Amino acid sequence: MIKGCKICGIKDSDTLNYIINHPYPPKFIGFICNYPKSSRYVELKSLRKLLNVKKNKSEFVAVLVKPKSKILEEIKSLPFDYYQLYDCSPDEIKIIKQKYQKKIISALTIKDRSDVLRYKSFADVTDIYLFDSKGYEKSQGFDHNLIKNIKLNRELMLAGNIKFDDNLKNYEKISNYLDLSGGLETSGLKDTSKINIFLNNLNKLKNET
């Protein structure tokens, strides 16, 4: 059952304020903290300014790709509820979780069944599993059938080329949360009209179930 969503890659205050104050705000809002290859990356100075806002009903997520201690120290006082970690081993995640006392979204990038089965080694360190494509910043998809029958001990978040106007019922049986970034953009920028359509459609689905 889909409980909510994460809108990821926010980098300007107008879009953030629109999302936070939407009648049906997302459960999570993600910020790219240490991955300059992404067009959605936010430099530290801008990030501090951007996050100086009342979160209302949403929780903030720091999206981090194999973070070094420097960036972890730089963001530790920022109002993040979760760290979403790519390319980290379970041991590395355990250290980060214990030191910074954050909830963890373990991001697993999927190409085939063997990638999916790696989830078992993260069982003790993750709060939410994120299954994503191998595309990172490129908004690629993967075969969602690969994760249809796995049994997790935690909630599951799904990313990878999900569109703002997709039939959300297609995801009901495989995911608790949907994670969108590129699917809510026009010409590389977040599009509030697409965000509005998606959040309204998600609310309709939740009211039907």
Condensed to tens digits (0 to 9), the pLDDT of residues 72-96 reads 999 999 999 999 999 999 999 999 9
CA 37 to chain centre: 17
What amino acid occupies position 165? D
pLDDT beyond 70 at 138: no
HSE-up (13 A, CA, CB side) for residue 104: 25
pLDDT beyond 80 at 49: yes
- State the pLDDT confidence band at 153, using cuts at 50, 70 and 90: confident
Q: How far is CA 40 from CA 9, 19, 47, 51, 72, in A?
A: 5, 16, 11, 15, 19
pLDDT digits (tens, 9 = 90+) for 155-164: 999 998 899 9
- Residues in the chain, overall count: 209
Q: Is the pTM of this model over 0.75?
A: yes
Residue-level pLDDT at 137: 55
- Give percent of the chain with pLDDT exceeding 70: 97
Residue-level pLDDT at 68: 97
H/E run at residue 8: strand 4-8
Residue-level pLDDT at 136: 53
Token pair, residue 190, equals 């977040």
pLDDT digits (tens, 9 = 90+) for 176-191: 999 999 999 999 999 9
pLDDT beyond 80 at 130: yes
DSSP collapsed to 3 states, 39-108: CCECCHHHHHHHCCCCCCCCEEEEEEECCCHHHHHHHCCCCCCEEEEECCCHHHHHHHHHHHCCEEEEEE
